[in-house]
């Protein structure tokens, strides 16, 4: 059921996307599926620049290199999806941006995580608190545990605005009611007095979203926001994201392993593997012309209705051990096209188009002959 639904969603969105491309180019107002390139041209304002972010954790078993040099930009009003399997470092990346990595045991080294020109990693905890929840908000995976069971929804909504925006009780309450209204909770005024256990899972996620949005952040980091929800509720929450982005113009970083979700709301996609972004591009580039064998494998492992090939192809093998990551390409051991160089030297980043970048020896200009010989097909 889950698979089928996602497939439908994926197919529908992609087809819709493909069919509408022309009309979108001409009619920017439709907004919903605006091409990201166009957005960059319209408002080339970079809201977040992450450069060579590395996060390690010291444990009794050794040092885990959870994130090994992640670089990406985020533009105003766009949705960037960070995709990857469990343990690839996508949540750690988002927590690091948010300032939620406890240090020690964590350790962050980076050339800079610039949010609107300020390096977040250089701020004191106190300065960071003025950004957390105000400029950057976060939505957590499981709405069943993200809300405090012993505080009313109202208090959890209002404490942020009261502290950050110094609003009075009445103003904060009015704002809380507006927010609940925005995320589609009926009878917001009465609901404020209730506790988390009196809401269903989907409702709780709506409340978590309302809490995240109440101080009008410019960046919303959603860490697997639909994973813990039923498929029908997932669709509703995704629609809510689109609606909110349209209304508030917030930039979204969406962390997920669910390609159906990505197909629905992302503008741009970054594929992570073993603590690195191995391929990034706009949605169409990643779905139609994936260049990294891992991305291709990832797409083949999602059921699709529009292709006759019904068989799903899982990627063989397991991700590398991040206690001692390989010196070459981390995917080499599982890669059907692996060459000798792959196991020994990590590939450089190859810029394919303005937006499309990949870290793979097959795409390296020096390996061009190989592609022409047909060693690499998709």
Partner 1 sequence: MAKYIIKRFLLMLVTIFIIATLTFFLMHAVPGSPLETERTTNATIQANLEKFYKLDQPLHIQYIDYMKSIATFDFGPSIKDPNRTVNELLARGFPISFELGIITILVAVISGILLGTFAALRHNKLIDYAAMAFAVIGISIPNFVLATLLIQQLAVTWNIFPPATWTSPMHMVLPVLALATGPMAIIARLTRSSMLEVLTQDYIKMARAKGIKPIRIVMRHALRNAMMPIITIMGTLLAGILTGTFVIEKIFAIPGMGKYFVDSINNRDYPVIMGTTVFYSSFLIFMLFLVDIVYGILDPRIKLHKKEGDV
Q: Which spans of this chain sit near partner 1 (rule: CB under 8 A)?
A: 98, 100, 128-134, 137-138, 140, 142, 145-151, 159-160, 163-164, 195, 197, 208, 211
Q: What residues does 281 pair with on adjacent strands?
A: 269
Nearest approach, Cβ of residue 95 and partner 1 (Å): 9
Neighbouring residues of 263: CB distance < 8 A, sequence distance ≥ 6: 9, 10, 13, 14, 283, 287
Nearest approach, Cβ of residue 123 and partner 1 (Å): 12
Nearest approach, Cβ of residue 39 and partner 1 (Å): 26
Query: 224, 256 in Cβ contact below 8 A?
Result: yes
For residue 373, the SS3 value is coil
If the CB atoms of residues 133 and 290 are measured against partner 1, the closer one turns out to be 133
User: Position of tokens 């509408």?
Assistant: 20
If the CB atoms of residues 31 and 105 are measured against partner 1, the closer one turns out to be 105
User: Position of tokens 């909504």?
Assistant: 157
Nearest approach, Cβ of residue 129 and partner 1 (Å): 4
Angle, helices 201-213 vs 153-165, to 10°: value is 10
Query: Measured in Å, how far apart are the chain's first and last C-alpha atoms?
Result: 28
If the CB atoms of residues 148 and 351 are measured against partner 1, the closer one turns out to be 148
If the CB atoms of residues 104 and 374 are measured against partner 1, the closer one turns out to be 104
Taking the CA atoms of 28, 32, 34 and 40 in sequence, report the sign of the dihedral they define: positive
If the CB atoms of residues 150 and 373 are measured against partner 1, the closer one turns out to be 150
Query: 86, 144 in Cβ contact below 8 A?
Result: no
Nearest approach, Cβ of residue 100 and partner 1 (Å): 6
If the CB atoms of residues 124 and 373 are measured against partner 1, the closer one turns out to be 124
Q: CA 7 to CA 12: how far, in whole Å?
A: 8
Nearest approach, Cβ of residue 146 and partner 1 (Å): 5
Please spell the DSSP secondary structure of 135-182, one letter per residue.
TEEEE-S-HHHHS-TTSBHHHHHHHHHHHHH---HHHHHHHHHHHHHH
């Amino acid at each position: 059921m889950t698979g089928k639904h996602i497939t439908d969603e994926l197919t529908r969105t992609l087809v819709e996307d493909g069919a509408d491309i022309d009309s979108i180019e001409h009619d920017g107002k439709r907004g919903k599926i605006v091409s990201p390139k166009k957005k960059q041209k319209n408002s080339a304002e970079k809201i977040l620049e992450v450069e060579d972010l590395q996060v390690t954790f010291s444990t009794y078993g050794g040092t885990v290199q959870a994130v090994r040099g992640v670089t990406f930009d985020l533009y105003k009003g766009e949705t960037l999806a960070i995709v990857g399997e469990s343990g690839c470092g996508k949540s750690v990346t988002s927590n690091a941006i948010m300032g939620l990595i406890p240090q020690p045991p964590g350790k962050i080294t980076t050339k800079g995580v610039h949010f609107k020109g300020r390096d977040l990693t250089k701020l004191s905890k106190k300065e960071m608190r003025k950004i957390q929840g105000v400029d950057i908000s976060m939505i957590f995976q499981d709405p069943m545990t993200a809300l405090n069971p012993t505080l009313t929804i109202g208090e959890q909504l209002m404490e942020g605005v009261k502290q950050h925006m110094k609003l009075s009780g009445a103003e904060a309450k009015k704002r809380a009611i507006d927010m609940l209204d925005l995320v589609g909770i009926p009878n917001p005024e009465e609901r404020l007095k209730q506790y988390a256990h009196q809401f269903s899972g989907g409702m709780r996620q709506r409340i978590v979203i309302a809490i995240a949005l109440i101080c009008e952040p410019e960046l919303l980091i959603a860490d697997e926001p639909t994973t813990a929800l039923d498929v029908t509720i997932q669709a509703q929450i995704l629609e809510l994201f689109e609606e909110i982005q349209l209304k508030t113009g917030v930039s979204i970083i969406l962390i997920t392993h669910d390609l159906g979700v990505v197909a629905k709301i992302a503008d741009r996609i970054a594929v992570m593997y073993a603590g690195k972004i191995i391929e990034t591009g706009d949605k169409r580039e990643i779905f139609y012309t994936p260049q990294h064998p891992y991305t291709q494998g990832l797409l083949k492992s999602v059921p699709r209705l529009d292709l006759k090939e019904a068989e799903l192809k899982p990627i063989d093998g397991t991700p590398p051990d991040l206690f001692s990551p390989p010196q070459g390409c981390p995917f080499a051991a599982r890669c059907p096209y692996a060459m000798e160089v792959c196991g020994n030297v990590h590939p450089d980043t190859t810029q394919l188009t303005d937006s499309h970048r990949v870290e793979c020896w097959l795409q390296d200009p020096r390996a061009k002959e190989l592609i022409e010989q047909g060693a690499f097909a998709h």
